[in-house]
Structures are given as C-alpha cells and as structure tokens.
Chains A and B, each alone.
Chain A
Amino acid sequence: MKTKNENKHKNYLILVIMALFFLLPMYVLLSTSFKSFDNVSITNMWNLPQELSIGGFIKAFKKLSPNLLNSLYLVIPATLISGILGSLNGYILSKWKFKSSELIFGLILFGMFIPYQSILLPLVNFLQTIGLYGSISGLILVHVVYGIPITTLIFRNYYTEIPTALIEAAKVDGANIFGIYRHIFLPISIPAFVVVIIWQFTNIWNEFLFAVTVTSRPSQQPITVALTNLAGSQVTEWNVQMSGAIITALPTLLVYIIFGRYFIKGLLAGSVKG
C-alpha cells in the first residue's frame, strides 16, 4: 500500500514539473506584458511586474487592431466555405463511391501534406494574374483550397460511420443525391461541423507562410504577420511585443479552452484514419 502511495506522489511530482515546463513561456508572456515600459528591462525579465500596467496592451492593441479585424475577415469565410465543400466531398466519397473515387480521395488528401513552398511561387503569380494578390480575398481563396483535404477527410470519416441502409431506404422513397444530403446527412452533421470549424479556425488564424507571402501591404496583413513586424520595429518594447503575442494567441486559446474536446478530435483526425 505504501509503495502505491509513493508512486502516486512521484507521478504528481512529474506531472507538476512537466506542467511548469509547459507553462514557462506563458509566465514570461504574462509577466512581461503587464509591466510598464520603464519596468521592462532584460535584467528583471523573470520577476513579476512591480505594478500591473496595461500600457503595453493598449499600445499593442492600437497597432494590431486593424490586423485583428483582417484575421477575422479572413478566418470566418474561409472556415465556412472549406467546411461546406468538405462536407459535400465527404458525403460523396463515403456514400456514393464510384470506380475511381478512392483514387480521387487519395489525390485530394495528398494536398494536405505537401510543403507549401512547392506551390508558393506559381500561387503568387496566379493571384497576381487574377487580381487577388495582396488582398484578404486572395488569402481566403488560398485557405479554402488548401483546407479542402482536411475538411474532406474529417467529414468522410464521420459519414462512413452512418449506415448505408439509410440511403437505400431513402432511395426507395424516391429521394435523390441532393435530397438525401439535405434531409438525412446535413441535419446529423453538426458534430463534424464543430470539429471542422474549430480546426480550420485555429489553423487559419495561426497560419504564417501564406499570410506573409500573399499579403504585402501592412493594412491587409493578418495578425500573425503584423506581430512579426511589431518585433522588427526599432527599440523592442518587450511589454508591447508580449502583449501583442497574447492578443494574437487569445482567440485560438479561448476556442481551445471552451471546445478542447473537439479540438483534440480534429487533431487526431489528421493522423489516425479509418
């Protein structure tokens, strides 16, 4: 009995030590962001702020708020459109399989793993040609297209679980492909939509490579790029910098805290298939 208890204590000790390691960057972020500019020297970076100052937050928010809005204008439509496309694709690829549908699925899926460097230059040229380079609309298009593989995958896996007998019965009743989707599949898709929306929201919000290459003017940049530029400006005001980092991280962190369960589902969907 005693050894069992000792074991328990040992386990907790490990869990706590690891938690400290995971929270260390959060400590630096929080304690620095609440310091005033005079108080934010390198030598006291590990100290708690002497007094709580929100000056850093005000300054960071002033600089970042247009980009915060850009990110919202980007994330909401891109998430919804890629979700709807994924749902339609997943429905067809799980329930209306035809001869080459597995191959098509595989070819779509590969798009989620490619290093985006391998399409970046033609992508920029293409967006310039169609006049969407440098705009949020261009970035929406990019995220919709490259979001199709993961949303299709999640919906396909979800719909695979739904008995095909349901479809056969509806067919007998004279329902067609659209009718069955609208009346049977769409209403029960909410859990999958929640997973997809949370996953896409988080990924698109956090994304950096497309954001930095497709948008060039600061007024059009999403918040991740604006945060990088904040770091590049003259004397680094670390309190402003860290406040900006918190403002950037907050939306996805809130989503994680509220919908963590669904976030994990999305996380696992990208790897454990079938």
Chain B
Amino acid sequence: MKYKTKEKLLSLSILSPSIIAVAIFVYGFIFKTLQISFIDWNSFSKLLAGKMDFVGLKNYINLFHDPRFQTDLWNTLYFTLLFILGSLLIGIFLSLILNEKPKGGIIFQNIYLFPMAISFVVTGTVWRWIFSPGTLPNNPYGINLLFQKFGLDIFQWRWFTNTTSILYFNIALIPVIIAAIWQFSGYTMAMWLAGLRGIPEQIIEAAKIDGASKWQIFSKILFPMQIPITLSAVIILAHVSLKAFALIYNMTGSGPNNVTDIPAIYMFEATFRSNLYSTGSSIAIVLLIMVGLLIIPYLINNLKRRDD
C-alpha cells in the first residue's frame, strides 16, 4: 500500500509541470477572459485603472445587438456548413478512387494532402491574388482574367468584394470557402482512406459477387461503416472553421460591410486594434462556448469508448 502511494506521488510530480501550466494557461486564462467580459474595460484607460465594476451581461447584450456580430454569426454558420460539406464530398470521393489503388495513386494522394503542411498565411496570400476581381468588365484580375481568356466572361463576378447576400448568406464567402476546402479536403481524404484500409476486402468482394453496384457498396456498406470516422472529421472540421482566423485574416480581412468577417477576426480587432477589451472578451467567450458544445461531448465519448 505504501509503495502505491509513493508511485502515485511520483506520477503526479512528473505530471505537475504540465498540469500547472495547463491550469494557468488554459483554465486560469479562460476564467480571466470570462471576468473581463463581465466588466467594463472598453478603453485603454479603464484597463490601466483596473477597476472591476461588474456590468452583468451588458457586453453580451450589446454584442448580440451589434449588426457586425450578427453578420459574423451568419457567416460562421454558412462558412462552417459549406466548408464541411465540400471537404467531405471531395475528400470521400478522392478516397474512394484512391482506395482502388490506381498506379501512381500515392503521388496524387501527396498532391491532395500537401496544402495541410502550408501556413494559412501563405495560402491566404495566394488565394487573395487569385480571387482579386479587378475592375469589371474592362480590367479583370486573377481568376476573372482567366475566364476572359477562355471566353467565359459570364462567370466573372466580384468574388470576395461582392456585397450581395441571399438568405443572410454573403456570397463573398464563396472564394474563402473554396480556399478552405482546398486546404482541408485532403484531411477528410486521409481519414477516410485510413478507415477504408481497415475494411476487409472479402466484404466488398462478396457484395460484388452478389451483383451490388458501386453506389450500393458505398451507401449500404462503406458509408455506414465509416460513420464514426466521418463524425470525427465533421467535428474537427467544424472546430477548424470556428478558428479559421489566419486564412480569412490574410485572404480578405473582414471585407466590405463585414461580408467575410467571422467572430475570431472581430475579437482580434476589438481587443488589439480598438482597445475594446470587454467586447473582445465576450466574443471570445461566445466562440469558446460554440467550440465547447461541439468538442466536450466528443471528448467524453472518445475517452469513454477507450475504457470499454
């Protein structure tokens, strides 16, 4: 018994630097942010004075009445949905083709996955240039110029500078979504491929002998078996999209009328460009709650399943 206690103490002491660091840097700082979101620190002088006058939910109420933040929430919703949908469709499709082990498949796989290794700062910079609309119709830039060269002028439009919205969907998000899908569909592909490799070939062969079509094999066998992996991918992608700060910040910024703004950018600008510390903190907490709702059930479920 004594030996056990000593072991536990040793274990804890090895873990302690990390436990202390995470306790301060994650939980302590989150608590501090929460605190700032409930007081009025919306100027530099108030931050310096350090007065902790509790204002209740005022910052949050202001936030949800703020047109910019409302736009941000709609943008997040549409960005997340379309980004996940696109990454899943392309990723799954590519994994199915690559799973048939075509010659040179590994080269294609590497091509589809390499964007994951590059910084959002780099890809944001390049995609910004590609989708810069120029002045239409006479002086098109980027992809619009390419359309002109192929006589496809009808496809020219103002991309991320367009301020049209349909059912609260700012169509200026489309180029940003394309860039995000470009960067992350390889991820879905890799996850699906890893899963597909674990499915015994006999199952597929047996289905083929029974005359099942490709679509039937996919929809009746592969997809149901891959649901856990697909769910994991959806959660990771959703969490990426809530955090997609670097890509959007470097590609378009918040855009005209905030058409490509997201909470992560608003938080950064409020806190570090406008000294609206409490507004920034309340945005951060809303973001945290959104991520938490997504991730906590996922983590609990994952840790539980491991114990079984």
Question: Which residues in A have some Cβ–Cβ distance to B below 8 Å?
Answer: 8, 11-12, 14-15, 18-19, 21-25, 28-29, 32, 42-43, 45-46, 85, 88-89, 91-93, 96, 98, 101-102, 104-111, 113-123, 125-126, 142, 144-146, 148-149, 152, 176-178, 202, 205-209, 213, 224-225, 227-228, 231, 238, 241-242, 245, 248-249, 252-253, 255-257, 260, 263-264, 267-268, 270-274
Contacts and interface: CB of A to CB of B under 8 A. Distances in A.
- Classify the interface of chain A: helix, strand, loop or mixed: helix
A45 B139 CA distance: 13
Nearest to A115: B287
B303 interface: yes
Contacts of A248: 119, 121-122
Given A114-B288, A272-B229, A122 B191 contact: no
Contacts of B245: 117, 208-209
B63 interface: no
The 4 closest A-B pairs by CB, nearest first: A206-B119, A256-B117, A119-B29, A122-B32
Contacts of A274: 302, 305-306
Nearest to A88: B14
A24 B22 contact: no
Contacts of B242: 115
B119 A271 contact: no
Contacts of B306: 273-274
A92 B16 CA distance: 11
Given A119-B30, A206-B119, 7 more contacts: A21-B182, A22-B114, A106-B300, A108-B22, A122-B28, A123-B25, A177-B11
Interface stretch (B67-75, B104-112, B159-167, B216-224): B104-112
A207 B243 CA distance: 12
22 contacts: A15-B98, A45-B145, A89-B15, A98-B8, A106-B300, A110-B299, A115-B264, A115-B284, A117-B264, A117-B288, A120-B267, A121-B32, A121-B36, A122-B28, A148-B22, A202-B117, A206-B118, A207-B119, A224-B246, A242-B125, A242-B129, A248-B119
A114 B285 CA distance: 10
A19 B106 CA distance: 12
B227 to A, nearest CB: 13
Given A115-B288, A202-B117, A121 B271 contact: yes
Most buried by B among A113, A249, A270: A113
B121 A106 contact: no
B79 interface: no
Most buried by B among A93, A117, A273: A117
Interface string B99-133: 01010010010111111111111110111011000
Interface in B1-26: 7-8, 10-12, 14-15, 17-19, 21-22, 24-26
